[in-house]
Amino acid sequence: MNSGWLILARVIHVLGVVVWIGGVGFVTAVLLPAVRTFDDPARRAEVFERLESRFAWIARGATLIVGASGFYMVFQFNLWARFSSVAYWWMHAMVAVWVIFTVMLFIAEPFFLRRRFSEQLRLNPERTLSRIQRTHWLLLILSLIAAAGAVAGAHGYEF
């Protein structure tokens, strides 16, 4: 086991999480509230869809990097037993958040959510953006709980 590669994997993992979850925070706390202030509903939909679709590609790349580096570390450090212990709930939380976002970004959004939200944005933009923002807040909060647990757990704090 080469510790240099493991250090690099951890660095890449953390940077991927920063880009991905930081982007979710930006979309949730800045982009969506700003877009909702536009007077023209068509403009709200257009700006949100354009900017969100650009970030989706960044988020996809980041989740791939996070998933690959996370798996590499679990494999190299042989951390599989942690998944059978409640004490390592944060490991479960990290994987759960990653799975939720991966399914959303690679399956749900491109195959049916994009079309559905585009239609809903045109029919009722305020309600649709409100629903999107609530969902983003929930996902952001879950992500931050997982990240906080991971940082504390990785540094020896036992819950």
Q: What percentage of the chain exceeds 90 in pLDDT?
A: 77
d(CA 78, CA 91): 13
pLDDT at position 158: 80
pLDDT at position 146: 97
Residue range 2-14: mean pLDDT, rounded = 92
pLDDT at position 159: 76
Q: pLDDT (tens digit, 9 = 90+) per residue, 95-135?
A: 999 999 999 999 999 999 989 988 898 888 889 999 999 99
pLDDT at position 122: 83
117 and 52 Cβ atoms separated by less than 8 Å? no
pLDDT at position 1: 60
Q: pLDDT (tens digit, 9 = 90+) per residue, 48-63?
A: 889 988 999 999 999 9
Q: How many CA atoms lie within 13 A of 50 on its CB side?
A: 7
Calculate ∠ Cα 126-130-135, nearest 5°: 150
